[in-house]
């Protein structure tokens, strides 16, 4: 996933300009309703970072999903509430409001679209608002972000 994070601040740190994220995910649970995985990222709020996450479905059906997600890295932690609503056979409207605590305390409020591509692929897009508190010397800020990613199920 690539994303841009231009802050509304007079002295933005250079690593807020953009970032990249890579993840490996594995469905868990009797019906694959939960998920866990590995996250690696570079350039957003840090130089390089990595961690583990776990997502639990709170409620889901063929047309909706609501869950809880927790992630933990060496110097950060994150909680999120992923949600999705199916709007066509291959498209979902998505959101995943989150709170992260690390070098910067960050709240993200996104709205996105996921579109299934082929048998095993998916394109995810999102736009949203970042609100951060620079407790370690970064300036406080507020700014938009956007992201786009392509994912594919491996081994299917």
Question: In sequence order, what DSSP letters do the residues of 20-42 get, joined into one string?
Answer: EEEEEEEEESTTS-EEEEEEEEE
CATH number at residue 40: 2.40.160
Return the sign of the alpha-carbon dihedral for residues 4, 16, 150, 124. Answer: negative
**Structure-token pair, residue 153:** 């199920």
| pLDDT tens digits along 144-154 | 888 888 887 66
| pLDDT tens digits along 17-34 | 567 777 787 888 888 788
| Exposed e or buried b per residue across 37-52, where buried means at least 16 C-beta atoms within 10 angstroms of its C-beta | bebebebbbbeebebe
Number of domains comprising the chain? 1
pLDDT at 91: 97
- Please indicate whether residue 141 or residue 56 has the higher confidence score (pLDDT): 56
pLDDT at 39: 81
Please say if the pLDDT value at position 46 is more than 50.
yes
Its pTM stands at 0.78
Domain residue limits at 41: 2-152
């Amino acid at each position: 996933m690539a994303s841009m994070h231009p802050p509304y601040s007079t002295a933005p740190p250079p690593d807020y300009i953009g970032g990249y994220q890579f993840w490996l995910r594995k469905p868990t649970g009797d019906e694959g309703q939960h998920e866990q995985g590995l996250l690696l990222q570079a350039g957003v709020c840090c130089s390089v970072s990595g961690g583990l996450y776990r997502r639990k479905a709170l409620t889901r059906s063929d047309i909706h999903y609501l869950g809880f997600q927790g992630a933990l890295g060496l110097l950060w932690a994150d909680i999120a509430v992923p949600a999705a609503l199916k709007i066509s056979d291959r498209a979902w409207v998505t959101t995943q409001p989150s709170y992260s605590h690390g070098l910067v305390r960050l709240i993200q409020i996104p709205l996105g679209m996921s579109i299934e591509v082929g048998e095993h692929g998916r394109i995810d897009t999102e736009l949203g608002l970042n609100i951060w508190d620079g407790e370690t010397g970064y300036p406080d800020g507020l700014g938009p972000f956007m992201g786009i990613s392509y994912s594919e199920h491996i081994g299917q």
